[in-house]
Amino acid sequence: MDRRGPALSPDLDFVSGRRKLRAAPRARRLRRLVQCPAERPAPRIGHGAESSRVRLRLDRIPLRHNLRAGLRLRPDGDDSLHQLLVLPGNANLRLPDHAVLDQGHDRRIAQQGSGRHRRRLGRNRRHGAAPVTLAILGLAFIVLVIVGLPISFAVGVASVIATFLLSGVDNATIVQRMLTAINTFPLLAVIFFVFAGVLMARGGIARRLVMMAEVLVGWLPGSLAQIVCVASMFFGGVTGSAVAEVSSIGSMMIPAMEKDGYSRRFATAIVLMAATMGPIIPPSIGMIVFAHVAGNVSIAALFLAGVIPGVLIGMSLMAASFVHGKLYHRKELPVIPMRDKIIRVIDGMAGVFTMVIILGGIISGIFTATEAGAAAAVYALILTVFVYKEIKISELPEIMWECCLTNAVVMLLIATCSVFSWILTYENLPTLLAENFFNLIQSKWAFLLLLNVFLLIVGMFIDMTPALIMLVPMLIPLAIKFDINMVHLGLIMVINLSFGLTTPPVGTALFVALKVGKISMDKLLPPLLPLLACMSVVLLLVTYVPSIYDWLPRMLGLMK
């Protein structure tokens, strides 16, 4: 029994009384009885010892209350509570879903319920989803997005409209869901990683990583394109943001590549596609959000699972750059003296050490993901302000304000999308899909292919964070049905939605690249498609050959 609110069991029945029934007792008496059940022994209810007032038997705890007619049916996929007592508005009691006792509901129905009640419950379970509510929710969201409303407000307004059709759900439920969604300790990691990423982006890390990448791969054909791929790989392990990679590396490398003889559209395309490694290589904000929504998923396992796919994507882009260099660009960079090479590598490795702090601390057990984010933020602050001296102390308030704006957008998205996702689960949509639509698919491999296509289409229209929050509760029952590991599901979702950041019509990284490269979308798409095809090969390998990446988290005992 959760003491923060009354936990009502499905085991509810009336005990008849021989005297006149009391009409409306006070709600505070109910609250006292529920919150302190140990103080009152369970009464013995028999034919000769009946109470003079209407009582509810709640796990053998006597409660007196004025009832509003009817029991609310809750879907199986939402919470362990299947029947919820609807209290009148004057009760002034909140009913959190997490305050439910996990009881043997089906056994009680078999022992106590009548045949008509069992048949009615079976019909309700079979038809748990409300098509009208779901249709209005989806249609309102699509219309609001089309008219140009920001995604967080579109999701929130659509959710509020849909709740008007849910009897017994009021504004307090919406507010509680929003606050509960963001009032979690793991989401602090998002705030810290955003702060560390902004410091790294503005602290000269990108320039030093590019100079180090020139030492490592500058001798290969297509040298500057190779440098972009390697620098983006390192920078993704520092910031975890595709938009930050495009703005930081693109503003430096696109003019340099054009000056060296590359076309502006190819230079913009390679910078844009290389930026997709940011959300895949740890630290990844998308993986943190997935673990938060899915629950019972190790963030460390997700981080380690993303290392190999991120590197493979980088290598596929390097292969494309090699072919492009052999065909269209045969220039070689000037030779760098050995002393300068050593200085560049040491200077760049100081920034890459951020990824070592994050992964090493989490794997060794020194840090949790949140504590690793805090440690990375402190290290980035010391490195950029006191070592590189690229950021002045007087600039820190402006940087913090920029981080506050970014985090506010992320948290508002999480809060509003959690209500949207809760409505989908409340109306039993995941179970409906699992038991009806996906029954047509018997093969796990066919389901994975359909999942990839579906996520690629969703990523074209919805950003990664809201897409994860809305889709994860729907896809988890399907993944369980086809015996798909949660780490595998999370990695597939993050990779697909990362590709969506680079595709029209609403790819955020795409529009930043168009602005930085000063190029139109119709000119960018032709060189973009071959690069996307190379990355799709890696996606298929990760989807159908999970042993490519899962050996690393399994070796460290983070994945079964």
Residue 316's pLDDT is 93
Using the predicted structure, report yes or no on whether residue 496 has a pLDDT greater than 90. yes
End-to-end CA distance of the chain: 33
Rounded Cα distance between 448 and 443, Å, is 9
Rounded Cα distance between 253 and 263, Å, is 12
Count Cβ atoms below 10 Å from residue 167 Cβ, excluding itself: 10
- Please write the tens of the pLDDT for every residue from 426-474: 887 777 776 676 667 778 888 899 999 999 988 888 888 888 988 888 8
What stretches of 437-463 show up as alpha helix (H) in DSSP? 444-461
CA 304 to chain centre: 17
Q: Which helix (H) or strand (E) holds 71?
A: strand 71-73
Most confidently modeled range among 33-37, 503-507, 520-524 = 520-524
| Residues pairing with 62 in the sheet | 57
- Residue 414's nearest CA partner among 293, 497, 495, 509 is 293
Residue 88's pLDDT is 36
- Please write the tens of the pLDDT for every residue from 163-181: 888 777 777 778 888 888 8
Give the mean pLDDT of 254-267: 87
Backbone angles phi, psi at 474, to 5 degrees: -75, -35
Give the mean pLDDT of 201-230: 86
Rounded Cα distance between 191 and 198, Å, is 11
Using the predicted structure, report yes or no on whether residue 139 has a pLDDT greater than 60. yes
Domain ranges of the chain: 185-414+508-556
Residue 545's pLDDT is 92
Confidence band, pLDDT 50/70/90 cuts, at residue 542 = very high
Backbone angles phi, psi at 164, to 5 degrees: -65, -25
Rounded Cα distance between 197 and 306, Å, is 18
| Residues pairing with 72 in the sheet | 84
Q: What is the pTM of this model?
A: 0.71
- Please write the tens of the pLDDT for every residue from 310-336: 999 999 999 999 998 888 877 777 788
Rounded Cα distance between 254 and 265, Å, is 9
DSSP state of 14: E
Residue 488's pLDDT is 94
For the record, the structure tokens of 225 come out as 């394109």
Confidence band, pLDDT 50/70/90 cuts, at residue 77 = very low
Q: Which of residues 18 and 263 earns the better pLDDT score? A: 263
- Give burial (CB, 10 Å; 0-12/13-18/19+) of 473: buried
- Residue 550's nearest CA partner among 301, 196, 191 is 301
For the record, the structure tokens of 486 come out as 């949660």
- Residue 433's nearest CA partner among 493, 486, 479, 468 is 479
- State whether residue 296 is helix, strand or coil: coil
Rounded Cα distance between 2 and 5, Å, is 6
Rounded Cα distance between 59 and 47, Å, is 19
Q: Are 73 and 39 in contact (CB under 8 A)?
A: no
For the record, the structure tokens of 520 come out as 């139109």
Q: Which of residues 87 and 285 earns the better pLDDT score? A: 285
